[in-house]
Amino acid sequence: MKHLSITTVTAGIAALIVGTLGLPAAIWAQGSPERPGVPWGMMHDWGTGGFWLMPLVMLAWFAVLVAVIILLVRWLGAGPGHSGTSSHTARNILDERYARGDIDQKEYLQRKKDIEDDS
């Protein structure tokens, strides 16, 4: 680990102090042209003309955020072979079980009929 000399630390602290104290002075120096010697007011003396737009922009960003979250959840939740409907998924599972021989033809046809009746 490299050690800093006292000169480097002192110079850094001095720069921080001058920068911090100098910032308000620089802002004050850029006075309002309408009122010489007086610094800019809030929002550079533009007044409150744009404040009616702020809630609309906030609502728009909130709507975009909600839409992105919903799309991400749907995209991440849809794995490979995701069909989107539960009856189609149940039918696929039933077909796979019958193909593997887990269930016989009678049970397959009965469950298939039950699935189609629920749809």
Give the model confidence (pLDDT) of 3-35 as tens digits: 656 677 777 777 767 666 666 666 656 666 666
For residue 37, pLDDT over 90 is answered with: no
Residue 21 is assigned to a structural domain of this protein: yes
Q: Would 10 be classed as within a structural domain? A: yes
Looking at residue 1, what is its pLDDT? 44
Please state the pTM of the whole predicted model: 0.33
In a domain, 26, yes or no: yes
Does some domain include residue 5?
yes
- Beta-carbon neighbour count of residue 115 at 10 Å? 16
Cα–Cα distance measured from residue 101 to residue 94, given in angstroms and rounded to the nearest whole number: 11
Measured distance CA(103)–CA(106) in Å, rounded = 8
Which CB contacts under 8 angstroms, 24+ apart, belong to 91-99? 91/115
- Cβ neighbors of 40 (< 8 A, separation 6 or more) are 27, 30, 31, 32
Number of domains in the chain: 1
Domain membership flag for residue 88: no
Look at residue 57 and tell me if it is in a domain: no
Q: Are 1 and 10 in contact (CB under 8 A)?
A: no
Name the strand (E) or helix (H) holding 56.
helix 53-77
The answer to whether residue 40 scores a pLDDT higher than 50 is yes
- 37 located within any domain: yes
In the predicted model, is pLDDT for residue 115 greater than 60?
yes
Parent domain of 24: 1-47
Does residue 32 form part of some domain? yes
Q: Provide the pLDDT for residue 73.
A: 86
